[in-house]
Chain A
Amino acid sequence: MKIPYYPGCTLKSTAKNFEDTTVAVSDALGIELLELERWNCCGTVYCLASDDLMHQLAPVRNLIRVQEMGFDRVTTLCSMCYNTLEQANQLVKEDSEKLEKMNSFMDQEEDYKGGVTVTHYLTLLKEEIGFENLPVKTPLKGLTVVPYYGCLLLRPEEVSIDNPENPTIMAELLEALGACVVDHPYKLECCGSYHTVDHKDVVCEKTYSILSSAQKRGAEAVVLSCPLCEFNLDFRQKDLEKELAPVPVLYFSQLLALSLGLDGNLGFDQHYVNPEPLLKKKGLLR
């Protein structure tokens, strides 16, 4: 299966391990990710002002790039990119007047026709491959994990990839990989987002409540899909060393690559809390 792939900026830098492991997994599963030849920022924070179309140009332009490739679907990994692309997509699909105005502004591009579907990689795996069909070679036996969804995969409801109040998609995946999955009440809690830039204390508090709740329920690692959540939950532990025993925070794609028996660099060196000792202890890593 060939599908256009929109990476987004963090997947090329601070979340390179997220991209690399997903590309490796896709190769193994026969999913050919076609990175858009030209792409720009997703728009980052979705603009909630309905009359501010300037901030909708970035996501819509990326959808035009998919259309130019002759495809009607694009997949992406970062929760933020998914959210912004899909929200903008819905806005222009529902409001032809706004779409016309944007098309007229972007007069050097072909018109966006509203025919592209944005599919998060988790949804792609679930619907196209099926979690039960994943060729697991190293089941994650004895590893207790909690999935952490944050907000951008689920809110607003219109773009949610799962039940926005009680999502299970990552739990289903991790169970299929053989991990012991525990539920926890903070799986939807906000990670503090961009407060991490100028209100570190806010993010530290959020990180503490999310991770301590996970630990109380026996979790040994947290699994997620968002580079910003990863940064906040992982790197903010730097300031919580007295309060909290270190908890590894991983992208679902890293555990997926590990359980599919893929060799190569799984990008564990890009984390603050090194997940290797835990994975070695569990006999999952040599």
Chain B
Amino acid sequence: MVEEPRAKMIKVYIMGKEYEVPEGLTIMKAMEYAGYRFIRGSGCRAGFCGACGTIFRKKGEYKFRTALACQTTIEDGMYLTELPFVPANKAVYSIGELTAAPATIVSLYPEIARCVSCNTCTKACPQDLQVMDFIQAALRGDVEKAAVLSFDCLQCGLCAARCPADIVHYHVAQLARRLYGKYVSPRSPHLEERNKEIEAGKFDEEMDKFTKMDLEELKKSYTERDIEK
């Protein structure tokens, strides 16, 4: 019998305890290999949902690092921990009652005025966003800049976990994007026209046809559909 080639094993420390795990795994998989089971703090496993923000240190390095556990490959001698959830207060508002005025964000999240521009949030961001810059934009009421700079935020919360001023950057940025979407960005006339067409029943007959199809017919019409160019 031929033995299957085995992956090289490396040492990692999880919650301070040493484990041998196969090299090449992500932080999340290495911890699962060691016996941890994630019920929370794990989601898409593809770097999009932001559920698995984690902290770690590398061997011999003073830097305290942050990353998404599903996207980061382990290295020998890494110090890992259970994936921390970041508790954060979320302002309650009704978006329809707000305006995109300069003071809106700071009045709902007054703690952003505590920002000293230390940039720790930016260093923590696994998406490499300019987190400090979007908080500063929010502070001076530049809704558009805050929305644009934070567009790729996954809401992992690592910025908030590291902030010495206790700011909840990801919720602040979400508010900025909501304000931008509702009050600043131009309305799409096509969308309104299409909504009217839908309401007027333009597509009812076609929908009806599809809902009555069996699975095979449905698959066929999907593969043979006209693809928008």
Contacts and interface: CB of A to CB of B under 8 A. Distances in A.
Interface of A: 9, 12-14, 38-41, 43, 54-55, 57-58, 61, 105-106, 108-109
Contacts of A55: 116
Nearest to A39: B136
A9 B137 CA distance: 9
Given A57-B118, A108-B122, 15 more contacts: A12-B102, A13-B141, A14-B102, A38-B133, A40-B117, A40-B133, A41-B115, A41-B117, A41-B136, A41-B139, A54-B164, A55-B116, A57-B119, A58-B117, A108-B123
Contacts of B123: 108
Contacts of A108: 119, 122-123
A108 B140 CA distance: 23
A130 to B, nearest CB: 33
B130 interface: yes
B140 A12 contact: yes
A40 B133 CA distance: 7
A105 B123 CA distance: 11
A188 B221 CA distance: 80
Chain B interface helix/strand/loop/mixed: loop
Please report whether the interface of chain A is mostly helix, strand, loop or mixed according to DSSP.
loop
Nearest to B101: A13
Contacts of A38: 130, 133
A13 B117 contact: no
24 contacts: A9-B140, A12-B102, A12-B141, A13-B102, A13-B103, A13-B140, A13-B141, A14-B102, A38-B133, A39-B136, A40-B117, A40-B136, A41-B117, A41-B136, A54-B116, A54-B164, A55-B116, A57-B116, A61-B117, A105-B118, A106-B119, A108-B119, A108-B123, A109-B119
Contacts of B136: 39-41
Contacts of A41: 115, 117, 136, 139-140
CB-CB nearest 4 A-B residue pairs? A9-B140, A58-B117, A13-B102, A40-B136
Nearest to A42: B117
A206 B133 CA distance: 36
A166 B192 CA distance: 63
Q: How large is the interface on B (under 10, 10 to 19, 20 to 34, 35 or more residues)?
A: 10 to 19
Contacts of B122: 108
A88 B103 CA distance: 27
A109 B103 CA distance: 30
B117 A57 contact: yes
A64 to B, nearest CB: 11
A14 B139 CA distance: 13
A58 B116 contact: yes
A40 B135 CA distance: 9
A58 B132 CA distance: 11
B119 A9 contact: no
B116 A9 contact: no
Contacts of A12: 102, 140-142
A105 B118 CA distance: 8
A40 B139 CA distance: 9
Contacts of B119: 57, 61, 106, 108-109
Interface string B127-165: 000101100100111100000000000000000000010
A231 B141 CA distance: 18
A43 to B, nearest CB: 8
Nearest to B112: A41
Contacts of B102: 12-14
A244 B136 CA distance: 39
B106 to A, nearest CB: 10
Contacts of A58: 116-117
